[in-house]
Amino acid sequence: MKVIELRIEPRMNKIVEKSETEPKFVARNESLISRDATRTEEEPKKQLTLGERDNYLKKIEAQIEAKRNLLLEKRKVLKRTVKENQFLDGVKSDYEKYHTFIVNEKQNQIKAMSLLNNYIGDIMVSGKLTEQDIKNSKEEQNEIIRQIEKIKKDLDEIMRE
């Protein structure tokens, strides 16, 4: 009966066969534990039959194939994620530009309303208004102040986002 020693060479990624006179089977690889490595010195070495050896090799090959498929799938997912992230970076950039634009618009609205409020106040102080005009001006000022407060509230909400 011819016994073959098989070694999986990690650097060459292939199985090397070597005939020996002493019957023995050893599978060596950094990721695999050979049957010899799990035995204590008191235990006798179990010889694998040709069928057992073939089954053992099939299991190893199946594990290698499964690992390869897993790595290929992870690579696909990684490529997809990178593309999505690039798209999301563009969306984020657009959102930040829009956010900045809205903040600037709200600040400009506050400035414009404050200017109107000051103008109405100056007209009322000038003394050239009738009692009805003064009353209308005060109502307008109150409305402007309410609008300024509303715009400030909106601006605060936008800034918190």
pLDDT tens sequence across 136-145? 888 989 999 9
Residue 60 domain-assigned (yes or no): no
Q: What is the pTM of this model?
A: 0.47
Would you state the structure tokens that stand for residue 11, as one six-digit string?
A: 């650097």
For residue range 84-138, what is the model confidence (pLDDT) as tens digits?
A: 887 777 778 888 888 888 889 989 999 999 998 898 888 888 877 888 888 888 8
The answer to the question of residue 32 being in a domain is yes
Quick check: is 121 in a domain? yes
> By residue range, what is the domain housing residue 134?
90-160
How many independent structural domains does the chain possess? 2
Does the residue 4 lie in any domain? yes
> Are 37 and 97 within one domain?
no
pLDDT band at 5 (very low <50, low <70, confident <90, very high): low
45-77: pLDDT as tens digits = 678 788 888 898 899 999 998 998 888 888 888
Write b or e for each residue in 32-52: b if 16 or more Cβ atoms lie within 10 A of its Cβ, otherwise e.
eeeeeeeeeeeeeeeebeeee
